[in-house]
Copies of this chain bind each other. A is one copy, B any other.
Amino acid sequence: EAKFEPLFKKIDELKPRFIDRLAKAIEIPAVSSDESLRPAVVKKAHYIADELKKLGFTDIQMKELGTQPPPVNDPNLQLPPVILSRYGTDANKKTILIYGHYDVQPAALEDGWDTDPFKLVIDEQKQLMRGRGVTDDSGPLKGWLNVVEAHRELGFDLPVNLVTCFEGMEESGSVGLDTLIAEEADKYFKDVDTVCISDNYWLGTKKPVLTYGLRGCNYYQVTIEGPGADLHSGIFGGAIAEPMVDLVQVLSSLVDSKGKILIDGVMDMVAPVTEKEKELYEKIDFSLDEMNAASGSETCLYKNKSDILMHRWRFPSLSIHGVEGAFSAQGAKTVIPAKVTGKFSIRTVPDMNSDKLDKLVIEHCQKAFSALGSPNKCKAELIHNGDYWISDPFNASFTAAAQATKTVYGVEPDFTREGGSIPITLTFEKELKTNCMLLPMGRGDDGAHSINEKLDLSNYFGGMKTMAAYLHYYAAAEGK
């Protein structure tokens, strides 16, 4: 649309400054999982806070979350701060909470990076930026700052109020953030109308997407215990009931090789696929080849696009992760492990009830074990769970983002879900009693947690333009 022309032009004009802002961020090795790098994480928080101040953000608060809970080497290790700030406080405008994280995954040249991971490098030929955090999540976070700067340079008012919630522990479980959100729900976050999270990716490399659903995850373990200590298979083999033999029987009763969950009642809880939903899947830009490229194999269980995506996003799955307590090294050890724990998890989707699922799973394991007639002891239990998230892809926020995408990229975005979980999404919705949208900036092949993490320049700038247009479309929508 013509009205965005000056704004988009300004964003392009400020390219050197926007790249420099990201480069300075990338140079700080803010690895939240590395205790020794905690000072760098804090340094990056202050770098961002300084930028916010320069750009006119107000009420900047570095929220301390206390010491990091165990396991930790330094019992006094402080969690990095959450950066709260505001841009605009006009009661007549809508307020959007922008979530992002400034910490990054570990990275080292020795892992196989082509260049120093903590130095932003521009590949002019491929027109991309490389460095740890460019796409996850420093690029998107800086994107919001840049959008504000572009408005200021033009003397434009922002059409909405912004509230930032930038954390420094996302790559390490967002420790402490749930509590902060709950505490600030009626305070700092009081007037928030909607939440926008830019911390995921396009499904592929060409088509922009908006993400309206995430699966949950219930993680279980089943422990089978027999002898008082590990035994020698030469001495006891044949006369003792072996826990590992019982365990493989129980684990083999959970799911078949076609991915079908064999636990009674689980599939009954899954919401049926609607016709409207089917259409959404059919429109998505994706192929079996892309799936095979991503998995590095041709071991996909389905051949057509909709089946593959539905089984990744909207059907539950059961994965067996491993066994604790058994022999797990190279070579040959003739041990009868005394106590073994099988680990598996179920990805959950609407309308599965988490508590009911736990009951079905635990009863199933107990029943499968009982059927063995083993003298060993068996205990099945939930280790942790996180609920699924699903939003209405046709609400005001998604509609605004879809319009923005169309304006910038010239295509309707694909409406996607994801198979993994981003627990903070649920926390925002629950505590702020509002809705969330996932607005990705990068592409599916950015290598967020891998070597040579990159962000295409077209995604950085296209992403910022989409963010900018989103603010305007959302401001113009019904309500307030």
**A residues adjacent to B (C-beta < 8 A):** 215, 217, 219, 221, 226-229, 231-242, 244-246, 248-249, 251-252, 255-259, 291, 294-302, 308, 311-312, 315-324, 326-338, 343, 345, 347, 372-376, 383-384, 418-421
Contact = CB atoms under 8 A, between A and B. Distances in A.
A235 B299 contact: no
A217 B334 contact: yes
A235 B332 contact: no
A296 B257 contact: no
Contacts of A376: 299
B233 A347 contact: yes
Given A235-B419, A296-B227, A300-B240, A373 B332 contact: no
B328 A373 contact: no
| Copies of this subunit | 2
Contact of A234 (B251, B311, B321, B347): B347
Contacts of A240: 295, 297, 299-301
A242 B332 contact: no
A384 B333 CA distance: 11
25 contacts: A215-B234, A217-B234, A228-B297, A229-B296, A231-B295, A233-B317, A233-B321, A237-B317, A237-B318, A238-B419, A239-B301, A239-B312, A240-B299, A240-B300, A241-B299, A244-B321, A248-B320, A256-B372, A299-B375, A321-B326, A321-B327, A322-B323, A322-B327, A322-B328, A322-B333
Given A322-B244, A373-B258, A219 B334 contact: yes
A418 B316 CA distance: 49
A229 B450 CA distance: 11
Contact of A312 (B227, B235, B241, B245): B235
Contacts of A347: 233-234, 237-238
Contacts of A296: 227-229, 338
A419 B237 contact: yes
Contacts of A322: 244, 323, 326-328, 333, 335, 337
B418 A242 contact: no
Nearest to A258: B373
Nearest to A242: B319
A329 B324 contact: yes
Given A227-B299, A321-B233, A248 B246 contact: no
A438 to B, nearest CB: 14
B332 A219 contact: yes
Contact of A321 (B249, B300, B324, B334): B334
Contact of A420 (B232, B241, B343): B232
Interface centre among A241, A299, A421 (most CB of B within 10 A): A299
A336 B343 CA distance: 11
A375 B332 contact: no
A47 to B, nearest CB: 30
Given A234-B418, A319-B336, A322-B326, 13 more contacts: A227-B295, A233-B319, A236-B419, A238-B315, A238-B317, A239-B308, A242-B320, A244-B320, A245-B320, A298-B375, A299-B375, A322-B323, A323-B328
